[in-house]
Amino acid sequence: MDLLIQFAYIVSAALFIFGLKQLGSPATARRGNTISALGMLVAVVAALLDQGIVDFQWIVLGFVVGGAIGGAAARMVQMTSMPEMVALFNGFGGLASLLVGWAALSPTAETFTLVTIILSILIGGVTFTGSLIAYGKLSETIGSGALLFRGQQVVNSLIVLGILGSSVMFCMEPGNSQWLYLVIGLSLVFGVMVVIPIGGADMPVVISLLNSYSGLAACAAGFAVDNNILIVAGSLVGASGIILTQIMCKAMNRSLGNVLFSGFGSGKVEETSVEGEIKPISVEDAYYVLEAASNVAIVPGYGMAVAQAQHVVKELTELLEQNGTEVNFGIHPVAGRMPGHMNVLLAEADVPYDQLLEMDDINPRMVNVDVAIVIGANDVVNPAARESESSPIYGMPVINVDSARTVFVLKRSMASGFAGIENPLFYKDNTRMLFGDAKESIGGLIREFS
């Protein structure tokens, strides 16, 4: 039986790795998710058999209740709320690791085991409360801006020293539960303190980083309970999360330290004078421009998610192609409020994957684009990132929609984006503002074509 269990662990690890590889492409992501889920099922069954005597009534109850909650949440969640749901997933993963580490505690535990228990509890606690704060910022149930106060670094330093001191005392006196409770409490507080100084515009990076933390917490829990497959799974999640975090930081031309500690968006942004005037356009006039266009680039942002406009965007794309127009989508790595947000939305509408071009691929083509349609994006198309050294996003790579012959910007109003920065694109000579709900505006264009 032991040999069979170890073989199941190897199969599970292979499924995790292969599933993770499949997640690297939108075309195979669903299959990769299914393969990874199958690997987790194999791992859970093998782990239960490895434990010997287990009360399976509670296990089955947990499967049923957890599966029902997860299935209902997946069915009911709106696409606009997907980033918040991912934040909660990360948080509960961290909480699970905290509880596993706590449950692994025994009076006879060796020092190495005690250290892994502390790491599991610490990283899990930080991930749990940090993810709850990220959820609040993304859902705007709490302020999305960075929260800084005088002496914040001192408070954080004291918390870290408290965690280190109580961790050492716990390892020296594992029978004294007060030290363990202190580690748990301080880790939960530290999770809050880590995320509150990060502005809402940086939440995609935070989501990715918290995902990495949840993997590291699971890895530490694996060492605590001596489970190899939990170590492997946690390591994969932790490594992939930190790689994605670095990719997103590079996409914003910022370091991870700058994201975590700069308090972006907390200070007063220097006002820059924007020359030009707003030039609105009607749906009817926009149609005539699009009807004559031979090359169109669509750049989606969070506004497309809010308007639930991905399906009408797909319909408009089909009509343009029937009219002989080449259509592509420009996807910025940090568009939306979580990694891959725009890819998920467009995949839901069955937009062909080969039409989704990354920023580095779409930018060289932009000078040959007749019409660039910006749907609810703001900061990722802001030319101030190239032109204004005083801008907080100066140096951040953006999609150069202003290089197109004509730019249509679909917005409800002239309000700034999530980062709260003025966008000179709206005032450029080749830009036309199509105000209103994006879904209704695109629906109007569809009716004109029909």
- Provide the annotated active-site residues: 379
Cβ pair 124, 94 in contact under 8 A? yes
Which amino acid is it at 196?
A: I
Integer Cα distance of 262 and 244 in angstroms: 20
Picking from 217, 248, 235, 210, the residue whose alpha carbon sits closest to that of residue 95 is: 217
- Residues 6 or more apart in contact with residue 260 via CB below 8 angstroms: 194, 197, 198
Strand arrangement, sheet containing 431-435:
356-358, 326-331, 295-300, 371-375, 406-411, 431-435
Integer Cα distance of 116 and 286 in angstroms: 61
Integer Cα distance of 347 and 351 in angstroms: 6
Q: What are the residues facing 411 on neighbouring strands?
A: 435
Q: What are the residues facing 432 on neighbouring strands?
A: 408
Picking from 195, 169, 173, 197, the residue whose alpha carbon sits closest to that of residue 183 is: 169
DSSP class of 105: -
The rounded Cα 15 to chain-centroid distance in angstroms is: 24
Cβ pair 27, 217 in contact under 8 A? no
User: How many CA atoms lie less than 13 Å away from 383 in the CB half-sphere?
Assistant: 15
Q: Using N-to-C axis directions, what is the helix angle for 82-103 and 177-195, rounded to 10°? A: 160
Cβ pair 357, 329 in contact under 8 A? yes
Say if strands 371-375 and 356-358 run parallel, antiparallel, or are unpaired: unpaired
